[in-house]
Structure 1
Amino acid sequence: MKQIRFKNSKGLSLAGDLQGENKRKVIIMCHGFRSNRFSKGRFDRFSEAFSKAGFSVLRFDFSGCGDSEDTALSLKNEVDDLSSAIAFVKSQGFEEIALYGHSLGARVCLEAFQPEDITTMVLTGAGTGPVHYNWKEEFTDTQLNELAATGFLTQPVQHSNRDHITISKQMLDDFSECDQQLLLSRISCPVLIVHGELGEEAILMPITQQGMKWLSDDSKLEVLQGAEHDFMTHLDEVEELALHWWKIHF
């Protein structure tokens, strides 16, 4: 595994890890909201499995997260980051690109899709349409007062090179501001979407169910019984589904 850095369109340096020996095919992994390229160990595990299966894998920190340069989180920024990651791997000679996205990272994959670049996707815990969260359940009164006064809030995180992330009001609005038909109908590649059925997944999964009609006929929805949004108790199943999907479509 090689630690790498590349820049987004704003010139911010993004940190990543590139793993695997395949010089032609690469899987780019996109982490979720308030997370980083390790994704609580999930992305470490999946990167290892995907590279052992014969693919190269790039996982990276979105700007404002992990070891990447600082900025406020927004969907627009993260889409730009992924587009920059795609441009980076193309500059390194990779000819075929697949995307793996979890949670908000899955939405970013859908938003950044370009048919000439992306062969296929695997998405877990995806927000495939408008999701209305009660942010009073996620953030403290102090944070929400900061948001009201400045348009941003500060979220403490535990990371070796970062003690907080900055979340913009637009980022929170981005979850609910989504035209599902417009988002999904432009995706021409085969997509595997994996959902659980408990907790947040009980909200996200029905949204995806209603949107599958706008994806390609060879796309597929898998629902894992008993799985929650982090899939921590179902990582074996997620890994198996992803590897099978890569074997067929990548």
Structure 2
Amino acid sequence: MNQISFMNDSGITLRGVLQPASPDKLVIMCHGFRGNRSSRGRFDRLATTFQNLGFSVLRFDFGGCGDSDDRPLTLAGETEDVRAALTYASRLGYDQIALYGHSLGARVSLEAFDPTLVKTMILTGAGTGPVSYDWSEEFTQEQLRELQQTGAFTHPVTDPYRTKIVITRQMLADFEQFNQKTLLSQVTCPTLIVHGTEGEEATLMPLTKQGMRWLPKGSRLEIIDGAPHDFLDYMDDIEQLTSAWLCEHF
């Protein structure tokens, strides 16, 4: 496992790890909202599995997360980060890339899709269509007042590299202000989307069901009955589905 860093177009240094195996096939893993490259252990486990299957794996922290440079969180910023990761991977000689995104990382993967490099995508807990969240259930009244007054607020995180992140008003708005058809129709590679049925997944999964018509031929939706958005107790299922997909489509 190699510690790596690269810079996006805005001059933000992004840090992560590269687990080498194949010289030309690379899986880039994109973590979720408020997360980091470990993704609560999910990405650590899956990256080792994919590497053992013969695929190189790159995991990195979005700007403002984990060990990467500080920056307020925005969808545009994270999309820029994934594009920078694709450029970095290409310069290393990887010309066949799979994007793996969980939760917000899935949305960012869709936004950053590059048909010249990305051969397949795997998305778990994806927000493929607009969702209106009640943010008062996620954040304190003090945080929401700070958001109202300044356009952003600080949020504590449990992370080996940082104690807080900064979330912008636009970041929250981007969960509900986009067009599903436009987002999905730009994808030209076979895409696997995995959803559960409980909690937040009960909202996200039907949205993906209605949007599958805009994804290319060969794409597939897999539903894990009983699984919540974090999939932590269903990692055996996730590992089996995603490994089989990579071996078949990559």
Alignment TM class, shorter chain as reference: over 0.9
Other-structure match for 1:244? 244
Other-structure match for 1:16? 16
AA in 2 matched with 1:51: Q
Report the Cα offset of residue 158 of structure 1. Answer: 1.6
Partners of 2:60 and 2:105 lie apart in 1 by: 11
What does 1:1-250 correspond to in 2, within 5 Å? 1-250=1-250
- Per the alignment, in what secondary structure is the counterpart of residue 101 of structure 2? strand
Report the Cα offset of residue 233 of structure 1. Answer: 1.0
Question: What 5-or-longer segments of structure 2 have no aligned partner?
Answer: none
Q: Deviations over 1:188-228 (max 9, x none)?
A: 10000000000000000000000000001200000001100
Contact kept in structure 2, 1:20 and 1:52, CA below 8 Å: no
AA in 2 matched with 1:54: G
Partners of 2:159 and 2:122 lie apart in 1 by: 27
Question: What 5-or-longer segments of structure 1 have no aligned partner?
Answer: none
- Per the alignment, in what secondary structure is the counterpart of residue 227 of structure 2? coil
Report the Cα offset of residue 186 of structure 1. Answer: 1.0
Report the Cα offset of residue 160 of structure 1. Answer: 2.4
TM-score when normalising by structure 1? 0.99
Partners of 1:243 and 1:56 lie apart in 2 by: 13
Aligned residues: 250
Counting aligned pairs with the same residue, the percent is 55
- Per the alignment, in what secondary structure is the counterpart of residue 76 of structure 2? helix
Partners of 2:247 and 2:158 lie apart in 1 by: 36
AA in 1 matched with 2:166: T
Partners of 1:2 and 1:146 lie apart in 2 by: 39
Q: Runs of 4 or more off by more than 2 Å in structure 1?
A: none
Partners of 1:229 and 1:94 lie apart in 2 by: 31
Report the Cα offset of residue 77 of structure 1. Answer: 0.1
Partners of 2:228 and 2:104 lie apart in 1 by: 15
Partners of 1:60 and 1:118 lie apart in 2 by: 17
Report the Cα offset of residue 114 of structure 1. Answer: 1.5
Superposition CA RMSD, Å: 0.6
